Amino acid sequence: MTPAGSLLSAHGLRKAYGPTTALDGAEFSIHPGEVVAVMGPSGSGKSTLLHCLAGIVRPDAGEISYNGQELTGMTDTALSALRRSEFGFVFQFGQLVPELTCVENVALPLRLNGARRKDAERTALTWLERLEVDDVRGKRPGEVSGGQGQRVAVARALATSPRVVFADEPTGALDSLNGERVMELLTDAARSANAAVVLVTHETRVAAYSDREIVVRDGRSRDMERAV
């Protein structure tokens, strides 16, 4: 059952890690250009929901439909290819390759998609400029501040022009000012590209950048728009 016009939707997701149940019948749907915040207390299954939606983790049961394709039936190779070309990712930390310079980090997903190094780095540079961090292009992640690093990560997530960006606590390691700037840049860029953003966060001020929110509690999701 796919809600009309949705880009990515999930129905009846279940996932358990050993004895712990992370998802217990979760639902989700998002439209192109929409920013949806996934909220809920720690350990409620927010991140697992994101991982399932992104095809990183296979759910034990349930359906995930992206653009008319059923994700749960796809091979690992196909899922990887999908993630490379259609999805973008921003995590809280530990995602930039420490040996590569910032511009090389941003170019990495493009190159994984088969782009030539020069072209990939040119595109990467324009994204660094958009996220106002082109001055650190030649530096390594260890040499830049947390805020700059996270902007580089956002640039990397957007560089492949993904249709869905998955952001898991993207501002978790940042102060308010940097966090807000990162959210502004992320949501602006995504909206202008008509990309959907799945934003996992526990901060309401961050969630306020979304169009609507769903709450995950004890593995079950609740769409607050339809609940009210």
Partner 1 sequence: MSMTPTRSGPSADPARQAAPASPDRPAGPTGARAWARDLAMGLRFAVGGGREGWIRTILTAVGVGLGVALLLGAASVPELMHHRDARSTARTPLGEMSGEKVERSDSTVLIVNAGTDFRDSEISGRVVRADGGHPVLPPGLDALPGPGELVVSPALRELMDSSDGKLLKERFSQYRLTGTIGDAGLMRPNELFYYLGSDTLTKSDGAYRTGAFGYKVTEDPLDPLLVVLVVLICVVLLTPVLIFIGTAVRFGGERRDQRLAALRLVGADRRAVRRIAAGEALCGALLGLVAGAGFFLAARQLLGVVDIWQVNAFPSDMVPLPGLAALILLAVPVSSVLVTLVSLRAVAIEPLGVVRSASPRGRRLWWRLLLPVTGLLILLGQDRIGSSATSDDVHVYTIAVGATLALVGLATLLPWLVEAAVRRLRGGPVPWQLATRRLQMNSGTAARAVSGITVAVAGAVALQMLFASMHDDFNTTTDQDPHRAQLSVYSPKGSGPLAQRMIDDFRATKGVEGVIGTVSAYVVKPGKLGKGDDIRPTTELSVGTCATLRELAHVGRCEDGDTFIVHADDQEQNAWVDRTARPGKRIDLNYDSWGDSTTKGHGAHAPWTLPKSTRVVQARPDPVGDRYNGILATPGAVDVDRMADAQTRAMVQIDPGVTDAEEYVRNTAARMDPLVRVNTIRMIERDKQYASIQRGLQAGAMATMTLIAASMLVSMLEQLRERKRLLAALTAFGTRRTSMAWSVLWQTAIPVALGLALAVAGGLALGAVMCRMVNKSVTDWLVFLPLTAAGAALVALVTLLSLPPLWRMMRPDGLRTE
Partner 2 sequence: MSIGHTLLGLLESGPRHGYDLKRAFDEKFGHDKPLHYGQVYSTMSRLLKNGLVEVDGIEAGEGPERKRYAITEAGITDVQRWLATPEKPEPYLQSTLYTKVVLALLTHRDAADILDTQRSEHLRMMRILTDRKRKGDLADQLICDHALFHLEADLRWLELTSARLGRLAKEVLPA
Residues of this chain that bind partner 2 (CB under 8 A):
37, 39, 41, 184, 203-205, 207-211, 213, 215, 217, 222, 224, 227-228
Contact between 88 and partner 1 per CB under 8 A: yes
DSSP 4-29: TT-SEEEEEEEEEETTEEEEEEEEEE
- Minimum distance from residue 167 beta carbon to partner 1 (Å): 12
Q: Of partner 1, partner 2, none, which one sits near residue 15, judging by CB under 5 to 8 A according to partner kind? A: none
- Which member of 41, 69, 70, 99 binds partner 1 (CB under 8 A)? 99
Site for partner 1 in 143-202 (CB under 8 A): 143, 156-157, 166, 168-169
**CA dist., res. 201 & res. 223, Å (int):** 15
Q: Of partner 1, partner 2, none, which one sits near residue 80, judging by CB under 5 to 8 A according to partner kind? A: partner 1
Using alpha carbons, select from 29, 45, 174, 138 the residue that is nearest to residue 184: 174
Contact between 108 and partner 1 per CB under 8 A: yes
Q: Which helix (H) or strand (E) holds 171?
A: none
**CA dist., res. 200 & res. 168, Å (int):** 5
Q: Which is nearer to partner 2, 132 or 143 (CB)?
A: 132
Contact between 127 and partner 1 per CB under 8 A: no
